[in-house]
Amino acid sequence: MGLSKARAHTNIALIKYWGKANQKLILPATSSISMTLAAFYTDTQVEFDDSLAADSFTLDGELQSAKAAARVSAFVDLVRERAGMHTFAHIASVNHVPTAAGLASSASAFAALAVAASDAAGLKLTPTELSRLARRGSGSASRSIFGDMVIWHRGTDDKSSYAEPLAMNPQLDLRMIAVVVDDMPKSIGSRVGMQRTVATSPYFPAWVTANEAAAREMQTALTAGDMPTVGALTERSAMMMHASTMAANPPFTYLQPVSLALFNFAAELRATGLQVYATADAGPNVKLLTTAQDAAAVLQQVQAKFNVKAVMSGPGPAARIID
Ligand code: DP6
């Protein structure tokens, strides 16, 4: 028992997770597939300390309110339960995400916390166990335990819902370009947004069926190294997810006019021979999936046409203990 520090990278889903089958355990309605990104990560240090009367949580050096720390504490409770301990902890996180890149995510946060807290508590968890644990903090965090391409199997219970690395054709040398169209906090968080979609969108059952099929097709395309199919499935999963929110009651969308303009621009660039496909999560920022070969040209074209900040990343490594 003591002090441990971990690093976990963010991930962007090509096949989206949207909607839970079980809110308490965070079991997703569909499987999802993501790419872990080298450029963006969270470092988290956990130190259990017998002299503490409560957990303390700092983010980027600033002490967070008790309310903000509650989700972190609830997560550390899972680790304490498992280790049979009652000691509180100092938790210090630093996000290494380019300022206002719109990528600060719960995925890297809870993956780093899972690795650091379990290690500091003396638990020796396997990567699969870490993925299941991280999932309890935030669904997408289950995927950030692993590097490169990752699949989160939806499963049917706590044991069967975990992520694992996904083999892919080495010829696919992928890049992701995060295009920042807006760095304001989102008005409807993903947790609330997906709940409303599950509860009220008549498109939700169709989303589950179609996205699960897309996850299977994506695995085949990744193995084959079939970039046009990987890209087409990526765009379709995003559009199906956003369609499901537009059909919720009351309806809502995360996409802004400029987000859609970027989807259209990706299609225009494809017509000129570049491999580039768009995706978007619970916010207006767009991420462009492209290849190592085309990334520089895509970045340059996007910046020439839109007055936006864009940051490129390659695939990143698995979550790990650092000094
Ligand atoms: C749109 O993992 O943040 O980014 O499980 O409620 O914490 P919770 O949700 P979260 O949702 C991510 C949704 C998404 C798509 C994805 O990453 O697959």
**DSSP assignment of 141-193, as one string?**
GGGGGS-SEEEE---SSTTT--EEE----TT--EEEEEEES--SPPSS-HHHH
pTM: 0.97
**Probe residue for ligand 1, chosen from 142, 190, 289 as the CB with the greatest number of ligand atoms within 8 Å:** 190
Mean pLDDT, to the nearest integer, of 44-64? 95
State residue 98's pLDDT score.
Answer: 67
The per-residue pLDDT for 183 is 67
The per-residue pLDDT for 182 is 76
- pLDDT, tens digit, 9 for 90 and up, residues 275-306: 999 999 999 999 999 999 999 999 999 999 99
Closest C-alpha to 179, from 277, 94, 108: 277
User: Which structure tokens are listed for 295?
Assistant: 């990334």
Give the pLDDT confidence score for residue 323 in this predicted structure.
85
Query: Measured in angstroms, how far is the CA atom of residue 158 from the centroid of ligand 1?
Result: 17
pLDDT band at 66 (very low <50, low <70, confident <90, very high): confident
Q: What is the mean pLDDT of the chain?
A: 95
Is 288 close to ligand 1, i.e. is its CB under 6 Å away? Answer: no
Our answer on whether the CB atom of 13 is closer than 6 Å to any ligand 1 atom is: yes
* Distance from C-alpha of 163 to C-alpha of 171, rounded to nearest angstrom: 23
Which pLDDT band holds residue 310 (cuts at 50, 70, 90)? very high
Predicted pLDDT at 158:
98
pLDDT score for 185: 64
| pLDDT tens for each residue of 142-177 | 999 999 999 999 999 999 999 999 999 999 999 999
Please compute the mean of the pLDDT values over residues 117-125 and round it to a whole number: 98
What is the Å distance from ligand 1's center to 250 Cα?
20
What span, in angstroms and rounded, lies between the C-alpha atoms of 91 and 110?
12
Ligand 1 centroid to Cα of residue 193, in Å, is 10
Looking at residues 5-24, what average pLDDT do you find?
Answer: 98
If you average pLDDT over residues 85-89, what whole number do you get?
A: 97
* Nearest-atom index, ligand 1, CA of 152: 18
- Rounded to an integer, what distance in angstroms lies between the CA atom of residue 18 and that of residue 82? 28
Give yes or no for residue 99 having a pLDDT over 60.
Answer: no
Indicate if ligand 1 lies below 6 Å from the C-beta of 26: yes
What's the CA-to-centroid distance between 272 and ligand 1, angstroms? 33
Whole-number Å distance between alpha carbons of 150 and 31:
11
17 Cα–ligand 1 center, Å: 6
- What pLDDT score does 97 carry? 84
| CB of 31 sitting under 6 A from ligand 1 | no
pLDDT tens column, 29-41: 999 999 999 999 9
* Residue whose CA is at the smallest distance from ligand 1 atom 8: 138
Is the CB of residue 163 below 6 angstroms from any atom belonging to ligand 1?
no
